[in-house]
Structure 1
Amino acid sequence: MPRNLDLTALRSFVAVAEAGGVTRAAGLLNVTQSAVSMQLKRLEESLDTRLLERAGRGVGLTGAGEQLLSHARRLLEINDDIYRRLTSKDFEGEITLGVPHDVVYPTIPGVLRRFAIEFPKMKVHLLSSFTKGLKEQFRRGEADVILTTEDSREGGGETLALKRLAWVGAPDGQAWRARPLRLAFERNCIFRPGVQRRLDEAGIPWEMAVDSNASRSIDATVSADLAVSARLEGTEAAYLERIDHGRSLPELKEVQINLYVADQGHGPAAAGLADMIRSAFASS
């Protein structure tokens, strides 16, 4: 007799596998951790096999879990496509989302995937720029939703997270020991003046090693161990690492990640996108 898989449990399984833990998956699915755990338990019982195993603070896939994951994704894609085609509210058009390039990863790709499922006829135009430029575009009505990284928020803004700036350099690099300290920041980087001020207050001489507004030029200089920079904790690229400077460099400030949504725009689509961003940062 054929048996049916529980799609809700499969969705929880895929979310846990992709998020690396039950807590993050629960936040992405907007359900409780206990609900996710119960669904996973039922799924394992129905298949009579272990799918997940603890791996440090997170979870990993067993061999059976790895085998199930690709099938589960395909099943959910088919389910979501059917549901979308038959129940679409027909929101059509384009929505513009502005995000500073240093907070695009790891949160925004998942938000864009979820938005594409729930609003299939809406196109998202992603602007990746500096906070100052994004706020100017938002004021001119050229962006519907923006994220910013700043010391405080303006009226109408909503703080989603606080993240501390951390010194970053090349893996096993030594550039942080040099004096004057060589810095690499984009010209319009909102963190640049504050970092320079903290070095001045600490009596540490510094100089700019590169003068560019190209992020790749900055990262190339830092990863070559020719300079250091600062990034929000958790957003540094794989080819950079936080510097264990042992108090040889000053501690840096906390920065707000703020959300702004235009008063007039795409209604439910903009509101839905904003809710997805809130949920993603709440679970990160």
Structure 2
Amino acid sequence: MPRNLDMTALRSFAAVAEAGGVTKASGFLNLTQSAVSMQLKRLEESLDLKLLERSGRGVVLTGAGEQLLGYARRMLALNDEVFGRLTNQAFEGEVTLGVPHDIVYPAIPQVLQRFAAEYPRMNVRLVSSYTKGLRKMFERGECDMILTTEDTLEAGGETLMTLPLIWIGAPNGSAWKSRPLRLAYEHACIFRAGVQKNLDEAGIPWEMAVESDSTRTIEASVSADLAIHTVLEGMEPPYVEKIQHGGALPDLTTKQINLYVSDLAKGQAIEDMAEFVRQAYRGL
């Protein structure tokens, strides 16, 4: 009697092999780690072969696993092609895009509009958080691609643009003249420590006047002239403006806007989404 391979287990095996571990693969597959581990166990039992070996915090393929991976990729590709062609749902599914709060505008609405026009049957899940949080989600396989604001570029990423940080305050505001200088920042803002260091080096006393986990709270406080804040040039939110301080405040550093695309996220839709993101930011 012929035996059949479990395609779901085979997909989990391929994802784990390509991700180098169960944690990232489970996030990408939208399954629990225990569910993925169980599928791998069933696959090994059905073949009576050891396919994966633990190595540190990840896994490595055995000789049998390396051989199976080649077959698995071809079988999964053929499986997906059959469903795509016979059901006319080649571009149904979901893309998860992670973007820091402060660089969503003005580029991301353009990206979403363009993607929706090209792939009307696909859903885009937009995750807006801080760079540190987005990187953790990306490492767990919970985002297909993320944008970050960083000082340097990590392995596997690409820099879309480099922009200077600028001081922002209320239109015609005077909070920037106060001493100690009143600052408003989110708790997890990646710019916060660097700005404080710049002020210390310039000999300007400061205090955290407004702290919050909400970007909207920070924006409202700044627009009310209660404190000042920093953003990447060109990314200023409404109701605030760049402070023309004439040298009364220190110049700030530059930051890179970087793009990372998961090696588990494949297909034309993913490639096009990444290209739409590149074009939107480079066109600013």
TM-score above 0.5? yes
1:261 aligns to what? 261
Distance 1:128 1:238 in 2: 18
**Structure 1 residue 122, shift from structure 2 partner:** 1.1
Q: Which amino acid aligns with 1:142?
A: E
2:241 aligns to what? 241
In structure 2, list runs of 5 or more residues that go unmatched.
1-87
2:95 aligns to what? 95
2:250 aligns to what? 250
1:196 aligns to what? 196
Q: Which amino acid aligns with 1:189?
A: C
Distance 1:278 1:170 in 2: 31
Distance 2:252 2:282 in 1: 23
2:173 aligns to what? 173
Q: Secondary structure at the match of 2:279?
A: helix
**Structure 1 residue 89, shift from structure 2 partner:** 7.0
Cα deviation, 1:146-194, whole Å, max 9, x if unaligned, reads 0001111100010000111000000000000111001001000000000
2:65 aligns to what? none
Q: Which amino acid aligns with 1:258?
A: N
**Structure 1 residue 117, shift from structure 2 partner:** 1.4
Structure label with greater radius of gyration: 2
1:141 aligns to what? 141
**Structure 1 residue 90, shift from structure 2 partner:** 2.4
How does 1:114-125 map onto structure 2 within 5 Å? Answer: 114-125=114-125
Distance 1:133 1:238 in 2: 25
Distance 1:106 1:213 in 2: 22
Give the % identical residues. Answer: 59
1:182 aligns to what? 182
1:14 aligns to what? none
- Structure 1 residue ranges (4+ consecutive) displaced by more than 2 angstroms after TM superposition: none
Q: Contact conserved, 1:148 with 1:259, CA < 8 A, in 2?
A: yes
Distance 2:239 2:130 in 1: 22
Q: Which amino acid aligns with 1:178?
A: S
**Structure 1 residue 237, shift from structure 2 partner:** 1.6
Considering only aligned residues, what root-mean-square deviation do their CA atoms show, in Å? 1.1
Distance 1:117 1:176 in 2: 44
Cα deviation, 1:232-263, whole Å, max 9, x if unaligned, reads 11111220001010100000111100000000
In structure 1, list runs of 5 or more residues that go unmatched.
1-87
Distance 1:260 1:101 in 2: 17
**Structure 1 residue 282, shift from structure 2 partner:** 2.0
Q: Which amino acid aligns with 1:203?
A: G
TM-score normalized by the length of structure 2: 0.68
**Structure 1 residue 220, shift from structure 2 partner:** 1.3
Pair 1:276-2:276 in alignment: yes
2:231 aligns to what? 231
Distance 1:209 1:220 in 2: 13
1:61 aligns to what? none
2:56 aligns to what? none
Q: Which amino acid aligns with 2:254?
A: E
Distance 1:211 1:282 in 2: 32
Distance 1:283 1:242 in 2: 21
Pair 1:112-2:106 in alignment: no
Cα deviation, 1:212-244, whole Å, max 9, x if unaligned, reads 111111111111111000011111122000101
Q: Which amino acid aligns with 2:224?
A: A
Q: Contact conserved, 1:90 with 1:121, CA < 8 A, in 2?
A: no
Question: Greater shift after overlay, 165-174 or 208-217?
Answer: 208-217
**Structure 1 residue 281, shift from structure 2 partner:** 1.7
**Structure 1 residue 266, shift from structure 2 partner:** 4.0
